[in-house]
Amino acid sequence: MRDVAIIGVGYTKFGEMWGRSFRDIMIEAGLEAITDAGIEGREIDAMYVGNMSGGRFIAQEHVSALIADYSGFARDFHIPATRVEAACASGGLAVREAYINVASGLHDIVVAAGVEKMTDIGTEMTADVLASASDREWEGFSGATFPGLYALIANYHMHRYGTTREDLAEVSVKNHNNGSLNPKAQFRNRISIETVLNSPLVADPLRLYDCSPITDGAAAVILAPAEVAKKYTDTPVYIKASAQASDTIALHDRRDIATLDATVFASKRAYKQAGIKPTDVDVAEVHDCFTIAEIVAYEDLGFCRKGEGGMLIREGVTAIDGDIPVNPSGGLKACGHPVGATGVKQVAEVVLQLRGDAGKRQVDGAEIGLTHNVGGTGATAVVHILSR
């Protein structure tokens, strides 16, 4: 297996892009990554595209071929382009597949991309599409939605560990603060604890400001063998580990609904592969689809003991200037959550952090970064560890 580096990154502004098409935003992200890498299209050997549900969001399947076509890679170079689907972890898994491809020696320059256009259909249909990432027969058909399922996790966590309603709100406040520093974030407004607590109830105890939004967006990263990375950039970022794990798709079959075992096992495998401990991580982008998800992620990634996630956010440990800065991009909550693109954006953000190119949201002295991308309520988890 070869060592692998990321030589270029790009992602669009996230938000509601009424006047732009699926292919437009994907091409924008890809061109930004290619320009960042300083490569030409003919140097690209393969492409992996994370996309959860183009067939229902925009009535378009075969999206990898669509993107290869409109990027010029199909007609001019005939590269292999493959769609990757793992619900909201589709983007992270696309990066992992691209990593495996380069590490194995099959190809040299590979694009990992992610894209979702979610706002072209109504909110009710969007909720139904997202619910298809749960166990449709045992959860969806019974009326369970993802806010409802994560509300179960939140209620149990609060009951068992004493996590408070204010702890959840602190996650949203932190991530909106970070998003205000990110010019590509969907929401750049700072909010207060009171704003979160007084927002409309979605699924008790989760309120509107505890939930990530419906988002359009795309992201891309360019991977290359580490031994040639310096040919393209003076600041390559190395993928030190890539790990994936699975769990039951239905929440009721879990060993412990307040623990995402897929995250636990994926992160342990990643730490072992990278030869580091959780305390070595300088910056992390984690999957905060709901505020409780970020608190649980702190614990399952080993940043604290089980039940202490509320304490971490309460004491400012995960703020940009804290000991373990989490979601400096604004996370899914404020930067936005175009489901197929999120995992790729997380990697792009950590690359910017490690290169020192993150602007006002820069984490000082970051040398090791982690990304954590989750599908559904944790049936899939993908963890990457990156290093300067």
Catalytically active residues are 88, 337
CB atoms closer than 10 angstroms to residue 270 = 24
Q: In what order do the strands lie in the sheet with 237-246?
A: 81-84, 46-50, 110-117, 216-225, 4-11, 237-246, 380-387, 368-375, 283-285
For residues 114 and 90, give the distance between their C-alpha atoms in angstroms, rounded to a whole number.
7
- 47 near 126, Cβ under 8 Å? no
For residues 291 and 183, give the distance between their C-alpha atoms in angstroms, rounded to a whole number.
22
Q: What residues contact residue 109 under an 8 Å CB cut-off, 6+ apart?
A: 39, 43, 44, 45, 222, 223, 224
Q: What residues contact residue 364 under an 8 Å CB cut-off, 6+ apart?
A: 321
Q: Residue 346: which of 267, 268, 287 has the closest Cα?
A: 287
Burial of 268 (C-beta count, 10 Å sphere; 0-12/13-18/19+) = middle
Residue 264 has which token pair?
Answer: 């636990």
CA dihedral over 80, 85, 91, 92, signed as positive or negative: negative
Could you tell me where the DSSP H helices lie in the chain?
22-37, 54-57, 63-70, 90-104, 123-131, 146-161, 165-179, 193-197, 226-232, 261-274, 291-300, 309-314, 331-334, 342-355
Q: What residues contact residue 207 under an 8 Å CB cut-off, 6+ apart?
A: 196, 197, 199, 200, 201
Residue 268 has which token pair?
Answer: 């342990």
Q: What are the Cα distances from residue 300, in Å, to 98, 230, 296, 333?
A: 25, 35, 6, 19
